[in-house]
Amino acid sequence: MAKMRAARLYEPGQPFHIDEIERPEPRSGDLLVKVKACGIIPNMNAIVSGKYWHHLPPMPAIIGLDAAGVVVKAPMGRADIGEGDRVYINPFLNCGQCYYCRSGAPTLCADAALRGYFGFTPRGAKLLQDYPYGGLAEYLTAAPSHVVKLPQEVTFEQGARFGYLGTSFAALRRGAAGPGSWIAIHGMTGTLGVGAVLLALGMGVSRILGWGRNREVLARLKTLSPRRVDTLALGDAPLKHWLRERTEGVGVDLLIDCSGRGGPAAPVAEAVDCLKRGGVMVNIGALAEPLALNPTQFMTGALQYRGSNWFTNADAALMADMARVGALDLSHLEPRIYRLEQVNQALADIKQRPGGLLNFIVALDA
Ligand SMILES: [Zn+2]
């Protein structure tokens, strides 16, 4: 039997083990992918701690949310995805059976899971038994419908960021961001926030106002487009005042909450007060405390508050195409590469919240 190396979690909160295990054989109709890069994100430490509501896969589990690689075995008789294709493996698994899946809305699946990560419900976690291969392994299997082709212009390291980029992209699209839009990003310096800035620039958004704590990242984001991007280091000025002033008292069309886990609700509440009439707030963050909203304000201002969870393969394909033509410039993401044996170090380093411009990657063939 051919072997492969994989990082496995034996017990929540414990370091990963690097094991040599059997290389998977794809089920009929599935692909075998040689993984080149797997993204490491700040939330991964929280997920593998097992302390939150997420339902972890059976242990020992191959973890790894966002992987990119090369197809090395494809089902016979189909030309759409073939051997040698560079792909992003969308880890979102839907049950295919619930009301939402049957109604053609798989991202609303009641029992979904993110492979190599967690199930949203105990039943969702069962889906992880069909695809027990996370991205921190040299090979994984995937249904052709779960992969997105990557053009040559997107590196494997950039492809391994697609999960967080896609989450921000879906939020921007739900808020109808585009030319003429003025948007605000809470938590601009984190992984989701930086992705939202890069994508918003590519989508032609007119003004991008954001705030966070990492001054260095804020300064670098401003230089990407000084006339379109404006930033505030939290604490330097009262947020509501700053946002009102920057929008000439009118407010923003869209507010995206990219809160990190455990962040405070107060700045988000201040920003909600600066939504333009008819404006939308989209939550993709991990705000841990309740957010006080004023229903009358939402009625009279015709405001919307909505959540957004993950994204579709169509979203991922659009991002890949934006990157192919240069509208989405992913070269601003600085890869920080670790070998598989260094995965625990990568998780320790990302705990220091280094900011979303760094792209933490485990390179499987390094
Ligand atoms: Zn479903």
**Can you give the pLDDT of all 366 residues of the chain as single tens digits?**
899 999 999 999 999 999 999 999 999 999 999 999 999 999 999 999 999 999 999 999 999 999 999 999 998 877 799 999 999 999 999 999 999 999 999 999 999 999 999 999 999 999 999 999 999 999 999 999 999 999 999 999 999 999 999 999 999 999 999 999 999 999 999 999 999 999 999 999 999 999 999 999 999 999 999 999 999 999 999 999 999 999 999 999 999 999 988 889 999 999 999 999 999 999 999 998 999 999 999 999 999 999 999 999 999 999 999 999 999 999 999 999 999 999 999 999 999 989 999 999 999 987
Amino acid at 289: E
Q: How far is the CA of 89 from the centre of ligand 1 (A)?
A: 19
Q: How far is the CA of 299 from the centre of ligand 1 (A)?
A: 33
Q: How far is the CA of 150 from the centre of ligand 1 (A)?
A: 27
Q: Tell me which residues have their CB within 5 A of the ion that is ligand 1.
A: 94-95, 98, 101, 109
Q: How far is the CA of 308 from the centre of ligand 1 (A)?
A: 16
Contact 42, 350 (CB under 8 A): yes
Q: How far is the CA of 212 from the centre of ligand 1 (A)?
A: 36
Task: Look up the pTM and report it.
Answer: 0.97
Q: How far is the CA of 331 from the centre of ligand 1 (A)?
A: 36
